[in-house]
């Protein structure tokens, strides 16, 4: 994609508009006390580790039913308000929800842009309409193993502290609360169903006026997102074009060996961390499906899981870009994400070595 193309800058503007609109809606909902209802199930948990693990699992489950970007835009400001209300580390809660979002996106074939593209290619290859159970037979076990490994990494980075139980006093909702709640629901529905940026802006601005948001509330706006999204999409497009024009899929003869599996996982992991995982999927999976490799379905699953190991940079995954917009530094992202990548590399190397010849859709 040309960096001067209208579609690229339209994508940047759409992402920024969606992020700001949803943030305003959630700030409004927080001001009138609506978010307290969402926090109820977690109000009596006293261990910071258990709280972070709970948010990790919530993000993992929700990620199966929506795109990474959409979930990140909705969930990130919600968990940051929760962290403020209970005195928790914002870095830890951003890592918990972002990693949960990323590791859970392959529970279904519609959990991310890359999985949707990959699944479409597989259906074209087989010439059949495939169902969710077929997806599960290919991806649920390696996804569960990577979830366990990622959760262990998360717990290693969290310092377990005592958290005071949260006292929530519910009052009879005012008309303003009901209206803000209705607008918040409309905004979330709009984000999930792909409504126009203009629609999202109108809902957000109306909510801002009704809630009477002031300067103090608007300080929570992720203004860094303007240049982060611009940087991510422009640089990601440039790198994607470079890789697409120079990349050739060369499968070594020893690919079926343990060292061959480690090599191809490492190479694809490196590529997916310097460009978007969706962009890499559109480049490499068609080459996989067109290759003469005998165990093609095994290779398809291996490459798909390798592409998901994108935990290191802000432009490798939209969830990381959103977290960075809200304050997660590239330094924290890289050094903490590196352990996740190494653990997943070990898990996938062993899994695909022992699953040679045993992964099939029939």
Residue 206 CB coordination number (10 Å): 17
What percentage of the chain carries pLDDT values higher than 90? 43
What mean pLDDT is predicted for residues 231-249?
A: 72
Residue 257 CB coordination number (10 Å): 13
Length of the chain: 362
Indicate whether this model's pTM tops 0.85. Answer: yes
- Nearest residue to 249 (alpha-carbon basis) of 195, 192, 191, 289: 289
Helix 113-126, helix 296-307: angle, nearest 10:
170
Amino acid 133: pLDDT: 92
Helix 68-86, helix 48-63: angle, nearest 10:
160
Residue 111 phi, psi dihedral angles, 5° rounding: -85, -10
- CA–CA distance, 142 with 344 (Å, rounded to integer): 10
Residue 212 CB coordination number (10 Å): 11
Per DSSP, 172 falls in state P
Amino acid 168: pLDDT: 66
Average pLDDT, the chain: 88
One-letter-per-residue 3-state SS of 234-250: HHHHHHHHHHHHHCCCC
How many structural domains is the chain composed of? Answer: 1
- CA–CA distance, 320 with 71 (Å, rounded to integer): 12
Residue 108 phi, psi dihedral angles, 5° rounding: -135, 165
Amino acid 16: pLDDT: 86
Question: Is residue 359 in a domain?
Answer: no
**How many CA atoms, within 13 angstroms, populate the side-chain half-sphere of residue 270?**
6
Residues 6+ apart with CB under 8 A from 15: 69, 229, 233, 318
Amino acid 221: pLDDT: 86
Q: Evaluate if residue 332 carries a pLDDT over 80.
A: yes
Amino acid 334: pLDDT: 94
pLDDT tens-digit readout, 30-69: 988 888 888 888 888 999 999 999 999 999 999 988 888 8
Lowest mean pLDDT among 98-112, 222-236, 251-265: 222-236
- CA–CA distance, 63 with 56 (Å, rounded to integer): 10
Question: What is the residue range of 71's domain?
Answer: 6-354
Residues 6+ apart with CB under 8 A from 104: 59, 60, 61, 62, 63, 64, 111, 143, 147
Question: Is residue 1 in a domain?
Answer: no
Question: Is residue 360 in a domain?
Answer: no
Question: Is residue 361 in a domain?
Answer: no
Contact 26, 191 (CB under 8 A): no
Question: Is residue 37 in a domain?
Answer: yes
Q: Is 47 helix (H, G, I), strand (E, B) or coil?
A: strand
């Amino acid at each position: 994609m040309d960096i001067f193309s209208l579609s690229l800058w339209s994508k940047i503007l759409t992402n920024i508009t969606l992020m700001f609109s949803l943030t305003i809606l959630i700030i409004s909902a927080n001001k009138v006390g609506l978010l307290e209802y969402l926090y109820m199930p977690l109000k009596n948990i006293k261990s910071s580790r258990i709280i972070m693990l709970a948010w990790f699992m919530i993000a993992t489950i929700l990620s199966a039913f929506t795109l990474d970007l959409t979930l990140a835009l909705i969930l990130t400001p919600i968990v940051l308000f929760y962290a403020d209300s209970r005195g928790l580390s914002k870095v830890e809660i951003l890592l918990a929800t972002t990693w949960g979002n990323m590791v859970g996106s392959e529970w279904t074939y519609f959990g991310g842009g890359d999985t949707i593209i990959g699944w479409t290619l597989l259906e074209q290859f087989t010439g059949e309409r495939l169902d969710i159970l077929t997806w599960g037979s290919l991806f649920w076990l390696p996804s569960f193993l990577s979830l366990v490994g990622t959760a262990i990494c998360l717990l290693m980075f969290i310092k377990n502290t005592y958290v005071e139980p949260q006292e929530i006093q519910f009052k009879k909702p005012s008309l303003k609360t009901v209206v803000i709640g209705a607008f918040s629901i409309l905004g979330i529905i709009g984000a999930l169903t792909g409504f126009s940026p203009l629609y999202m802006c109108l809902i957000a601005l109306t909510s801002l006026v009704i809630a009477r948001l002031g300067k103090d509330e608007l300080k929570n706006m992720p203004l860094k997102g303007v240049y982060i999204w611009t940087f991510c999409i422009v640089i990601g497009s440039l790198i994607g074009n470079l890789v697409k024009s120079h990349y050739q899929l060369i499968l070594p003869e020893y690919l079926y060996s343990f060292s061959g599996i480690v090599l191809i996982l490492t190479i694809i992991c490196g590529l997916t961390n310097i460009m978007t995982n969706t962009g890499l999927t559109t480049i490499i999976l068609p080459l996989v499906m067109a290759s003469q490799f005998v165990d093609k379905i095994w290779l398809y699953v291996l490459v798909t899981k390798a592409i998901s190991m994108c935990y290191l940079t802000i432009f490798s995954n939209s969830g990381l870009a959103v977290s960075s917009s809200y304050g997660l530094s590239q330094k924290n992202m890289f050094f903490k994400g590196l352990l996740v990548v190494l653990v997943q590399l070990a898990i996938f190397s062993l899994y695909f070595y022992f699953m040679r010849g045993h992964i099939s859709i029939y």
